[in-house]
A and B are shown apart, each in its own frame.
Chain A
Amino acid sequence: MRDQLLSLKQEFKVIKEFNIYNINTHQFEVLESNECATLVSNLDEMDCLQDMSQMNLETDNQEYFIQRSDHKMAVLSLDKTKVYNKALLHIKVKSTLKKFA
């Protein structure tokens, strides 16, 4: 799993963190730092995760992208200063996540 995440991070330099969250166990399976943890646990507490398949959130200096599969979620923090192919990143994150299901 970590090899695949690493290769995706190498392909997309925009990815600062790639975390994997298990919606059933409410635990992170991969957590690079606590940066995204507060946001995700807050969303989980409010039962938002069941009703979403994808989320993009931008702040002044940060960007977050969340992609959900059946029971797992990819939680990415992105470097807002870098340009990247958004459609391609979304497709690749989705297919990577499917491999972990």
Chain B
Amino acid sequence: MNKIESIILENFPNLKSVHMLDSNVRFLSLQDLMSEKATNWLKWLDQSSFQFTDLSIKLTDNSQLFVKPIGQNHNLIIHNEQENNALLFKFIEDLIAEEIESNQNHESHLPKEESSEKSDLKLLDAVRIQKLILPKKDEIAKEFRNFFVVHEQQDVVGGDFYWYSRKGNNTLLAIIDCTGHSVEGAMTSMVCNSLLNQSIFDFDPQNVDRVLINFYDQLNKYNQTSSDDYGIGAEIGLFCFNHESKLITFCTTGISAFIKREDGIELLKSKKVITYENIEKSIAKTSFSMKNVTGIYGFTDGLSDQFDAADKKKLGSKGILKMIEDEQDFDARYYLSEIKKWKGDNMQYDDITLIGMAI
């Protein structure tokens, strides 16, 4: 087996097939190893003079065919049904770039290869675009006595983001944890950001949960357009600060929050079962006075589910509570350093977002 074939299969063991073909070998020779639906495409690949750099075909049996010419002399062809396509694409792109770079350095000691640079540039573009949806921290900070955000993606891009809007006398601030992380999560976050912006069109401070109902209604519509079972999802924690009535409303579908008062700290949790089809009953909604509230801390489950350095124990809400109780400085630096202390050299398992607001 070719080295690239075996690396791909090691990382994506559920692929139907992976082949690195010499360019003088016909694609149709793979006919018996692939589904019948791929046969005509293999014939087309043999006869076509189309000079493509990447080709991906979703077949009617829901499997996916990827073809990528590698250098002048090889074609990589992958048949996938179960693995995550976005992760697979990214992995292959990086792997091919690394492989070409290592071959070139080995043969001629050339500097960094062009396709690797291209891949890095694409990644930088993705990071830049995802940052565009994040509101400016300075703008949010004006709304509170103090404010901080810890936003640590597991990969360069991810599925966690935070969102802010002002509606009359109301400050709206949300934490969103989209399904998946890395590229999959990032793409979902772009859709969810648009949906959230559209969901406040009929904002009513008496019915803050209407924003989430609007959001999930639209999300359901998007998911219904898909012919396969794949859909996107997100957990949202939405805070509404009404500066007229001095009331804070928190609506959540999976995001938890600690409310720090002069006499203690309370944990606000979401309901255990969230069903998009019956979203009105799945939203946990709480309203309370701003009086005596000194701080609010909202966080995604990436933080509470983070394992310690020994990889044995999750931080949990108790661990976050301890950080808040021991708080030395109300800023991102303190919390980031506490999270790093907890995690040690262990890997980060998911995207992490923690937002603190001092009232």
Please report A residues at the B interface, Cβ cutoff 8 Å.
Answer: 39, 42-43, 46-48, 50-60, 83, 85-88, 91, 94-95, 98
The reply on B201 being an interface residue by CB < 8 A is no
Quick check: A59 and B51 within 8 Å, CB to CB? yes
Tell me whether A88 and B194 are in contact in the complex, defined as CB-CB below 8 angstroms, given that A53-B60, A56-B54, A57-B55 are known contacts.
yes
A42 touches B54 (CB 8 A): no
Across the interface, do B191 and A46 meet the contact criterion of CB distance under 8 Å? no
Number of cross-chain contacts by CB at 8 Å? 77
Of A39, A47, A59, A85, the residue contacting B190 (CB under 8 A) is A85
Chain A residues contacting B57 (CB-CB under 8 Å) are 52, 54-55
From known contacts A48-B40, A51-B40, A53-B60, infer whether A83 and B52 are also in contact, taking CB-CB under 8 Å. Answer: no
Query: A57-B54, A91-B225 in contact; A83/B125 too (CB < 8 A)?
Result: yes
- Say whether B191 contacts A59, CB under 8 Å: no
Minimum distance in angstroms from B255 CB to a CB of chain A: 23
Given contacts A46-B47, A56-B55, A57-B54, contact A51 B191 (CB under 8 A): no
| 8 Å CB interface, B33-78 against A | 37-38, 40-41, 43-44, 47-48, 50-60
Contacts of A95 in B (CB 8 A): 225
In Å, the complex CA distance between A53 and B187 comes to 21
Could you list some 6 contacts between A and B, CB below 8 A? A46-B43, A46-B44, A48-B41, A51-B37, A53-B58, A87-B188
Chain B residues packing against A (C-beta within 8 Å): 37-38, 40-41, 43-44, 47-48, 50-60, 125, 129, 187-188, 190-191, 194, 222, 225-227, 232
- Quote the shortest CB–CB distance from A70 to chain B (angstroms): 11
Q: Is the CB of B60 within 8 A of A55?
A: no
- List residues of chain A with CB within 8 A of the CB of B194: 85, 88
Contact A55 B58, beta carbon cutoff 8 Å:
yes
Known: A42-B48, A88-B190. A56 touches B56 (CB 8 A): yes
Give Cα distance in the complex from A14 to B288, angstroms: 47
Residue with the greatest number of chain A CB neighbours at <10 A, chosen from B40, B48, B222 = B40
